[in-house]
Amino acid sequence: MSDLRPSLDTPEVTAAEEVVATETDTAVRSRRRSPLGMAVRRFRRNKIAVAGGVFLLLILLLAVFAPVIAQQSPTAVDLGAIRRAPSGEHWLGTDASGRDVFARLVYAARVSLLVGVFAALLAVLLGTIVGAVSGLFGGWVDTVLMRTADMMLSFPSIVIIIVLAGILGPSIPILVVSIAITTWPTTARLVRGVTLAVREREYLHAARVAGASRGWMLRKHIVPAAMGQIVVVGTISVAAAILAEAVLSFLGLGVQPPQASWGNMLNDAQSLTVIQSMPWLWLPPGLAIAATVLAVNFVGDGLRDAVDPRQSGRS
Amino acid sequence: MVNETEPLLVVDDLAVEFRTDEGVVKAVDGAAFTVDRGEIVGVVGESGSGKSVTAMSILGLVKSGRRVRGAIRFRGRDLGTLPAKELRAIRGAEIAMIFQDPMTALNPVVSIGRQIVEALRLHDRKLSKAAARDRAIELLALVGMPDAAARFKQYPHEFSGGMRQRAMIAMAIANGPSLLIADEPTTALDVTIQAQVLDLLRIAQQETQAATLLITHDLGVVAELADRVVVMYAGRVVEQGDVTTVFTAPRHPYTVGLLESLPRLDRDVDELHPIPGSPPSLLTPPPGCPFHPRCPLARDRCRTERPELRVVGNGTTVHRTACHFAEELAALPTEVTR
Ligand SMILES: Nc1ncnc2c1ncn2[C@@H]1O[C@H](COP(=O)(O)OP(=O)(O)O)[C@@H](O)[C@H]1O
Ligand code: SF4
Ligand SMILES: [Mg+2]
């Protein structure tokens, strides 16, 4: 693939040459030179990011096929077999209520991914709208929205989430909303920046001259221009949201037992005896959180490089 | 009210101002001209004479400027009083613009075909994707794009400059406009490309039967393409009439100056006479005739009384000028006026 690098990384240079070719050749070139196609290629050259992606795919499969993979129920209490060490029957042992740790770990992946993805989606959606409106309308609208974003960014987000979860009560929807409320400003700032840049571009002026409304310009020019970076920020938000879920559930403000989440599994392992002598209770959820967050961040970094090669030292 | 007996476009005593830190810039100060259906009208004048501001006023898109006087009527409708939504429906559909630099006027990350499809669907939401696609390919073929179907999928950077020009013109005529505005379409292009662009404009005009407002400071372009010419100076129209009349028998000293500053095959370079002096400040325009500081015919009356646009000559077409002493030009020896 390395032979493609010069032409991919410097489209301006090759652009100068007139493309005259047969139809099939033309089609091939188009696919290769579409911005999306080029980003995909750059992403696939990044081994760590690809590995992160594969790992996430495995976690996703685990979550989706949890009932098939886990032979035991994640909530079945067996008071006759509490805190048992791993065995053939319980691969990762049992917890304080005699529930199968492996089953809980696998089912918890569902909750963590769900919360992570939905919180990030909500944050990105909110941030995109706020950022685009801010950039497009300017004036006092921009001032009010951006000061609000600044305020959100200057508070320690976990404190806000704790307060919100405390006031509204712990539940998965509340968890998703409170994580989203604290993370949208990052996307908003980004999209506002892109909007301001695109606003000055001649093609946006051309669109206005062609009769486009603000909404049209937003949908057809601004959001697509920001999409690459939105995806990157969104991905990194997923990691942040998974961590936030873990912290909140660990503190008892997130996912409520008996439903399992990686965070509340750690909550069960707070005593020194457990930490010292029963690693099967905290090591699996701890590793799951760390590995998943790391993998998401690897993918996010890979996407960042793929979307904008100029900002990375590598390409 | 649609009035089909009126010219397609009427610019009536248009005045546009910009408030700047240095003061109020009177960018356009009483411009008046008309464009009939299907005709090509050239607008000429030195840089800064208000041509672009006039064009953007027609589209209702003067950024930060204020229309302080006058009206713009398009097909009998006063564009200044239309709600924003109706103005948007006119822009791009009935009045389309051809830009100087297609590289920047096209979105670099959207394929050419998609951009034409979007231009079509912007004004016809009911148009299906497939129909829009067929129409876009048809349009590309119409402007002379070889292998249009394959080109449809390509991005602007994969096109040569000439091909981009074609794509942009295909986009401009996509919705069958009745007025095309081309602002300096050939400026900064080399001569061969210039000729290609003029050919394209001709094709676009023939295909759509659209009237064309051709803004340029190149009199040669006007001579080649336009039916009528409007000469602007310091935000005003100083002369207008059909191209042959104005170019062979100009009735305004500024037009005479412009024509004399043209390099011509039948003249040596040392016979070129650029107009002495420079355009007046639009912050504090001179009283009376704005051209008087540079005019060889200027006298006291010119410094106090503003000349209005009036009909001169007795030709078959209407020839107007804004000069108190236009008749004296008619008497000048032919070397000067020719
Ligand atoms: N946004 C603006 N703010 C202030 N002055 C402007 C603005 N746009 C145009 N002008 C002024 O209006 C005058 C006419 O400009 P323009 O119509 O662009 O001239 P032309 O197209 O004939 O070269 C110029 O003096 C220019 O400096
Ligand atoms: S009105 Fe006077 S200053 Fe103005 S162009 Fe005519 S002669 Fe010259
Ligand atoms: Mg201009």
Label residue A6 by pLDDT band (50, 70, 90).
very low
Residue-level pLDDT at B66: 87
- CB-CB under 8 Å, B91 with A12: no
Domain identity same for B226 and B332: no
Task: Kindly report the nearest CA distance between residue A221 and chain B, in angstroms.
Answer: 8
- CB-CB under 8 Å, B147 with A26: yes
Report the share of chain B in percent with pLDDT over 70: 93
Cα of B38 vs centre of ligand 3, distance in Å, is 23
Cα of B70 vs centre of ligand 1, distance in Å, is 18
- CB-CB under 8 Å, B99 with A202: yes
Query: Is the pLDDT at B42 greater than 60, yes or no?
Result: yes
Residue B279 in domain: yes
| Domain end call among B230, B265, B292 | B230
Q: pTM for the complete prediction? A: 0.79
Cα of B55 vs centre of ligand 3, distance in Å, is 9
Q: Is the CB of B15 under 6 A from ligand 1?
A: no
User: Which segment of A14-23, A48-57, B50-59, B70-79 scores lowest on mean pLDDT?
Assistant: A14-23
The minimum-distance atom of ligand 2 relative to the CA of B328 is 7
pLDDT in tens, B206-236: 888 999 999 998 888 899 899 999 999 999 9
Q: Is the CB of B21 under 6 A from ligand 1?
A: no
Residue B242 in domain: no
Domain identity same for B90 and B177: yes
Q: What is the CATH number of the domain that holds B32?
A: 3.40.50.300
What 3-state class would DSSP assign to A76?
coil
The greatest distance separating any two alpha carbons of chain A, rounded to the nearest whole angstrom, comes to: 78
| Alpha carbons A62 and A47: distance in angstroms, whole number | 23
Domain identity same for B187 and B271: no
The closest alpha carbon to A221, from A202, A236, A237, A235, belongs to A202
| Cα dist from A23 to B3, B137, B166, B201, whole Å | 49, 15, 20, 28
Q: Please give all residues whose beta carbon lies within 6 A of any atom in ligand 2, as ranges.
A: B 252-253, 289, 291-292, 295, 297-298, 302, 307, 323-325
In this complex, which of A15, A27, A211 lies closest to B122 when CB atoms are compared?
A211
For residues B245 and B221, the answer to whether their CB atoms sit within 8 Å is: no
Name B67's bridge partners. Answer: B16
**DSSP of B277-323, one letter per residue?**
S-PPPSSSPPSS-TTGGG-TT--HHHHHSPPPPEEES-SSS-EEE--
The minimum-distance atom of ligand 2 relative to the CA of B289 is 4
Q: Is the CB of B53 under 6 A from ligand 1?
A: yes
Query: Is the pLDDT at A83 greater than 70, yes or no?
Result: yes
- CB-CB under 8 Å, A206 with B106: yes
Domain housing B307: 252-336
Domain identity same for B75 and B203: yes
Q: What are the DSSP E strand ranges found in chain A?
A: none
Residue-level pLDDT at A75: 79
Residue B1 in domain: no
Q: Which residues of A touch B85 (CB under 8 A)?
A: 213
How much is the mean pLDDT over chain B? 88
In this complex, which of A35, A201, A210 lies closest to B119 when CB atoms are compared?
A210
Residue-level pLDDT at A5: 37
What 3-state class would DSSP assign to B32?
strand
For residues B256 and B334, the answer to whether their CB atoms sit within 8 Å is: no
Domain identity same for B256 and B161: no
Query: Token pair of A224, please?
Result: 């697509």
Name the residue with the closest Cα to ligand 1, atom 6. Answer: B18
Residue B305 in domain: yes
Q: What is the CATH number of the domain that holds A137?
A: 1.10.3720.10
Q: How many CB atoms lie within 10 A of CB B247?
A: 19
pLDDT in tens, A171-188: 888 889 888 988 899 999
Residue-level pLDDT at B4: 61
Residue-level pLDDT at A19: 39
Q: Is the CB of B64 under 6 A from ligand 1?
A: yes
Number of domains chain B contains: 2
Compute CA B89 distance to the chain's CA centroid, rounded to the nearest angstrom. 21
For residues B325 and B305, the answer to whether their CB atoms sit within 8 Å is: no
Residues by chain with Cβ below 5 Å of ion ligand 3: B 52
Domain housing A178: 61-311
**Peptide bond before residue A170 is cis, with ω within 30 degrees of 0:** no
Residue A39 in domain: no
Query: Token pair of A118, please?
Result: 């939905």
For residues B307 and B289, the answer to whether their CB atoms sit within 8 Å is: yes
Class of residue B161 by CB neighbours under 10 A (exposed 0-12, middle 13-18, buried 19+): middle
Q: What is the ipTM of this complex?
A: 0.86
In this complex, which of B93, B147, B150 lies closest to A211 when CB atoms are compared?
B93
